[in-house]
Amino acid sequence: MRTNGPDLGADYLVAFLNTLDVEEQTDALDDASGFAAWAREHGVEPGEPAEARRVRDALRQVVDGEEADLPAVQLTTACGERAVELSARTAAEAAVASSVVLSIQGKLGRVKLCGGDDCRWAFYDGSRNGSRQWCSMEVCGNRQKARTFRSRREEHAGSTSAAED
Ligand SMILES: [Zn+2]
């Protein structure tokens, strides 16, 4: 038996966490029809937007290594051939189920939020040693490097003369 639910795992979880776009200051859950379209695209029902938001915000804290108050979500199981699977109906259920699957696989720690304060984009760290900090080295990694460089230069400038910007 194969359920026709969403594919549970990192791709789904990352997409769900990114319904909040910190940089653009948009939240796909704010708009009911937009969220319904998002859910359809990902093979889930939207469910209650308020619950989806609570679950998403808690999971964003979890993957960021913070303490989180994850709302209780009802998950059901389904039998496959020599397998027992979690099944999820709504967007929030699928996100929690994906987190459970990744936790069991020891991979939830690979789902991260970008270290850029104004970015915070969720991504899956597929690097060998799991040390990636940025959604994109080209964008956020370089931005951070430039910032570190600038603040170092300003520290220096403070002891001599004002920085010329
Ligand atoms: Zn980023």
What's the 136 CA to ligand 1 centre distance in angstroms? 6
What's the 77 CA to ligand 1 centre distance in angstroms? 35
Which stretches of the chain are assigned E, i.e. beta strand?
20-21, 26-27, 76-80, 83-87, 111-113, 122-124
Burial class (CB in 10 A: 0-12, 13-18, 19+), 128: exposed
Per-residue model confidence (pLDDT) at position 5: 63
Neighbours of ion ligand 1 (CB under 5 A): 114, 116, 119, 121, 135, 140
Per-residue model confidence (pLDDT) at position 80: 85
Cβ(110)–Cβ(130) below 8 Å: yes
Identify the residue with better confidence: 1 or 78. Answer: 78
**pLDDT at residue 11 is higher than 80:** yes
User: Mean pLDDT throughout 131-142?
Assistant: 90
What's the 80 CA to ligand 1 centre distance in angstroms? 38
Whose structure tokens read 């969720």?
122
Per-residue model confidence (pLDDT) at position 44: 95
CA quadruple 52, 58, 59, 63: dihedral, nearest 10? 160
Q: Global pTM?
A: 0.85
What's the 134 CA to ligand 1 centre distance in angstroms? 5
Residues 6+ apart with CB under 8 A from 18: 121, 122
pLDDT one-digit tens code per residue, 13-67:
999 999 999 999 999 999 999 999 999 999 999 999 999 999 999 999 999 999 9
Q: Where do the domains of the chain lie?
A: 10-112
What's the 113 CA to ligand 1 centre distance in angstroms? 8
Lowest mean per-residue pLDDT among 110-119, 120-129, 148-157: 148-157
